[in-house]
Amino acid sequence: MFKLSQSDTYTWPVTVEVPADGGRTEKATFDAEFKRLTQSRIEEIRKLIEREEIRDVDLVREVMVGWSSVVDQDGAVPFSAQALDQLLEVPMVAGSIVLALFASLSGAKRKN
């Protein structure tokens, strides 16, 4: 059975590989909450990407509406526009969020 009416948002895991000492990377993960997009908007976004008319950070600002497991030295960081801007300044994060978004749209399964 397919439920035609669905929630406005859903969560999906994001994995970011961040540079570490010694020429290594470390994986960090958090759950992003994405707006549920219409098929027509997904197609528009794909065309914008093909024409290089949208940046990763702009796409993330459009579709990401929350998160969990994002922390700083003081503990959990609540989602806000300012906190999202700070997160998007971390190298590799915006691209990782976009990859997670498209994985969610293609039905890719999360690796354990």
**What is the domain partition of the chain in residue ranges?**
9-106
Total Cβ atoms within 10 A of residue 16: 21
Q: Answer yes or no: is pLDDT of 2 > 90.
A: no
**Torsion sign over Cα 51, 54, 59, 60:** positive
Total Cβ atoms within 10 A of residue 11: 14
Identify each DSSP E strand in 1-112 by its residue range.
9-20, 24-35, 64-68, 71-72, 75-76
Nearest to 15 by CA among 112, 93, 109, 71: 93
The owner of tokens 């526009």 is: 81
pLDDT digits (tens, 9 = 90+) for 40-55: 999 999 999 999 999 9
Q: What is the mean pLDDT of the chain?
A: 92
pLDDT digits (tens, 9 = 90+) for 9-35: 999 999 999 888 999 999 999 999 999
